[in-house]
Amino acid sequence: MRVPEKGCVLCEATWGDYWDEVEGQRMFFCCDICAVEFKNMIREVIARTGWESIDEIKIDGDYRGRDCIALKGDKRYGFFVRFDSKGQVQDLNDRPITGARVEPQKSKAV
């Protein structure tokens, strides 16, 4: 899974030193709550889409909620997610890609 080069996978904070494994990949998180939230979000997206794995998730937002786009090959799944104070998914609502604030980046021709 592609993740940000710097900072926490979920919130992109650069403080902290918490590492956890997600889908067989070791990832950096600023804290254990971000790790729990991210793993729960991945689990929920896989359950809803039926995908075996996710290539990348584009995330925009903060503790009040996050607009996201999950990518798998040429497939895209837009959603809004909010977590409770323990990192459990409180709300996860499908969003059309055009309604999401985060647009997938187009690959550049080489």
**How does pLDDT run across 61-110, given as a tens digit for each residue?**
999 999 999 999 999 999 999 999 999 999 999 988 764 555 555 544 44
Tokens linked to 20 = 């956890």
Q: What is the DSSP letter of 110?
A: -
pLDDT at 101: 53
In a domain, 29, yes or no: yes
Q: Tell me the residue range of the domain where 92 lies.
A: 18-99
In a domain, 70, yes or no: yes
In a domain, 11, yes or no: no
In a domain, 85, yes or no: yes
In a domain, 7, yes or no: no
In a domain, 110, yes or no: no
- Say what the pTM is: 0.85
Sequence-distant (≥ 6) Cβ neighbours of residue 38 within 8 angstroms: 9, 10, 22, 27, 29
- Structural domains in the chain (count): 1
In a domain, 10, yes or no: no
pLDDT at 24 > cutoff 60: yes
**CA distance readout (Å), 30 to 12, 15, 66, 82, 87:** 8, 6, 17, 18, 14
pLDDT at 56 > cutoff 90: yes
Q: Report how far residue 53's alpha carbon sits from residue 70's, in angstroms, rounded to the nearest whole number.
A: 10
